[in-house]
């Protein structure tokens, strides 16, 4: 599966494992995705990218 930069990156809350689509942050003519500031479900501010989370879970 190839990486598609047009799709938002997804982040996993390390507190309750909820998945959030990253929010787009425009920085000049480039944009990138950022994790939410806070989990709406459990209030945690710790997120890991979904790819990293999957790798850690299957290790």
Which of 15, 23, 33, 50: binder of Zn ion (CB under 5 A)?
15
For position 19 contacting Zn ion by CB under 5 A, the verdict is no
CB-neighbour burial class of residue 12 (10 A; exposed 0-12, middle 13-18, buried 19+): buried
| Alpha helical stretches, state H, the chain | 50-57
Q: Is 44 in the site for Zn ion (CB under 5 A)?
A: yes
- Between CA 12 and CA 50 the distance in angstroms is 6
**Closest to Zn ion by CB, 23 or 44:** 44
Could you say whether residue 35 binds Zn ion (CB under 5 A)?
A: no
Q: Contact positions toward Zn ion, by CB under 5 A? A: 13, 15-16, 18, 39, 41-42, 44
């Amino acid at each position: 599966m190839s990486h598609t930069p047009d799709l938002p990156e997804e982040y996993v809350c390390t507190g309750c494992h909820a998945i959030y689509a990253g929010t787009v942050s425009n920085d000049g003519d480039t944009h990138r995705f950022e994790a939410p500031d806070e989990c709406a479900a459990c209030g945690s501010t710790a997120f890991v990218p979904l790819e990293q989370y999957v790798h850690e879970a299957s290790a």
